[in-house]
Each structure stands twice: as structure tokens, then as C-alpha cells.
Amino acid sequence: MNSAGEKTENNNFPVSVAIAGAGTMGHGLALVMARAGHRVMLLDTDRQILEKALGQIRGHLEMLRKEGLENRPVKEISDRIQISTEKQALADMDLIIESISEDPAVKAAFYKQVGDICRPDAVIASNTSYLNIFDLAPFDIQKRLLISHFYAPPYLIPLVELVKGPETSTDSVEWIKQLLFRAGQQPVVIEKFIPGFIVNRLQRAMGREIFHLIDGGYATPEEIDRAVLNSLGIRLPVLGAVRRYDFGGLDFAQKVLSNPSIGLVSEDRPSSALDDLVSRGHLGVKTGRGFYDYNGQDLAEIHAKRDRLLIRMRALMQEIQDTF
């Protein structure tokens, strides 16, 4: 860092990383950082959640070892993680990743405290899914504040959307980008805040069409999934969302864009299919039933099967990205 409290090109890894919030995402982020060799402080207001998080982390490490993605002993990695309910634990950290509840008032209060406690050169990154945290945080931390949006589970899904605020320094972005690359993640930089960033915007647009097709009785959930898995499911991982236009021909893409007959859903609408399932308590895998029926199946085994397939896809993605 230089005298103005900014990160410089001379990156000295590993560093100390605080993860605030040990819930669904936070415990996975602690795991990613500990696997990369960093000293991790996992913070939550609830001690029971912290204890549970440590158990989950050990469980994920066992799974990664079983799948051949990790060969170091679980203890060697989990010993790098300390837990605390005291904000003061943030005081000497190089990086603070905020992954607390998605509530603007809770986040605003946290940034105010962090600004008072942490080192003047600490980089502060938020895992928010939708909030414009740059409107919530005090001015004095804005230079080293950015969004780092991970995907679940972060130890299997590499993408991290790094979103710059109006004041974020290039050095802070470059520093965390290098840190994430070295941790095995794939950071992608977004120059300015837009709700949903890249991937959740695309997912949301697709969701509108999916529920329109189901609610309108055009196709069943099973047929939609079969259609997608056997087309986009194969093509998207190879060509991405943009390169595929080059392969299809840009003149053709231009014709498609200028043909209004498709009449896409242009707004968010409630879905009767979704409302019906939720009202009956069918919330997906966690309740044994969603669009599909999982009753009688071991839920842990369903998740383990998904994870095994994600691991194989992840390896293939690496090969594909090295090809183009």
C-alpha cells in the first residue's frame, strides 16, 4: 500500500480476510479464502451460526477431498479460520467481505461501524445481490469499497462479479482481482452499478419467459428443462452468451432483433404456477417438492449428486476457456 492508504501493484499474498456474516454464503466464502492460504476471521452476531458454519466448512472440505479437488488435510485448512461475534476483530484485516443479511438498514449500520474500526487501507467488498451499497456507505470508505458478488456454492462456482462504485480506486479493484484469481475464482469487472449485475439480469429475463410459458400452458416444466438442457445447456458453456452470435452470423442476429413477432415478456409479473406451489408449501428441494417431486429421496444425496456434476462441468469449463 502507499502513503495515501491505497493498494499498490506489489501484492503480498496471503493476507488476512474477514468474512462478516456466516450464513448460506459467508461460510462458503470463508472456505474459499482459507483454501487459498489466507488467515480468515469469520464474524457473525449469532455464535450458534458461527459454530454451525465451522461444521459446514469441514463437511465441504471432506466432500472436496472425496472428489479429488483437495488433498490437504481438513484440519490444515480449517485451522486458518477463527470465529468471533466482536466487530473489533475487523481491526487489523487487509480485506473485509461483507456477506450479512440483504437489508439496507443493516448494511448501512455495518459500513458505518467498519469505517470506524478497520484499517484505513483495508479493502471492503460486499456480497450484496441487488443493493446499491455505494449509496449506503460513508464517503470515507468509498475509495476502497466495491461489490464482490459470489455464486452459491462459491467453492464450486468460480464467478465473482466485481462492481466498481463511483469512487472505487483502480488499485483496490486490481488487488482483489488478483487475490480472487489466485483463490481459483473467476472475477469479472463491471464498470458501474446496475441492479442484478450481469448474470442475475440474464437469469431474471429468462425467468419471465419460463413462467410465461408454464402459466400460459405452452409447455410443462419438464419439457422446458429438456429443451434447454439439450440446446442452450450444451451450446452456452462452449460459446458463451456473446460469441455465439459470431458463430451464428451477425447479419442473422440483426434480422432476428428487428423481427417484433416474438413479443417477449417485458415486465415482471406474478406467476400463477409459482404462487400455487408456494401457497401449498412446495418450496423446492428443501421441502421435498417444488416443480419436481423429491419425496422419498435423500436430500443430502441430491445435493451431493448436483455437486459432483458441477465439479465435472467446472473442469470442462476450464478446458473450454483455454481453447478460445
Ligand X SMILES: NC(=O)c1ccc[n+]([C@@H]2O[C@H](COP(=O)([O-])OP(=O)(O)OC[C@H]3O[C@@H](n4cnc5c(N)ncnc54)[C@H](O)[C@@H]3O)[C@@H](O)[C@H]2O)c1
Q: How far is CA 233 from CA 186, 219, 319, in A?
A: 20, 18, 17
Nearer to ligand X, 45 or 238 (CB): 45
CA distance 124 to 111: 9
Q: Which stretch binds ligand X (CB under 6 A): 38-46, 160-168, 288-296, 297-305?
A: 38-46
Residue of 4, 91, 152, 320 interacting with ligand X (CB under 6 A): 152
Residue of 18, 26, 145, 168 interacting with ligand X (CB under 6 A): 26
Q: How far is the CB of 159 from ligand X (least distance, A)?
A: 10
Amino acid at 285: V
Q: Contact between 45 and ligand X (CB under 6 A)?
A: yes
- Quickly list DSSP for 13-59: -S-EEEEE--STTHHHHHHHHHHTT-EEEEE-S-HHHHHHHHHHHHH
Within 13 Å of residue 49, how many CA atoms lie on the same side as its CB? 16
Q: Contact between 101 and ligand X (CB under 6 A)?
A: yes
Q: Contact between 43 and ligand X (CB under 6 A)?
A: yes
Q: How far is CA 127 from CA 10, 20, 135, 145, 163, in A?
A: 25, 10, 15, 11, 10
Q: Contact between 56 and ligand X (CB under 6 A)?
A: no
Residue of 36, 40, 64, 100 interacting with ligand X (CB under 6 A): 100
Q: Is the peptide bond before 187 cis (omega within 30 degrees of 0)?
A: no
Residue of 2, 24, 254, 272 interacting with ligand X (CB under 6 A): 24
| Total Cβ atoms within 10 A of residue 29 | 26
Nearer to ligand X, 106 or 227 (CB): 106
Residue of 1, 22, 95, 162 interacting with ligand X (CB under 6 A): 22
Residues lying near ligand X in the complex (CB under 6 A): 20-26, 43-46, 49, 99-102, 106, 110, 127-129, 149-150, 152
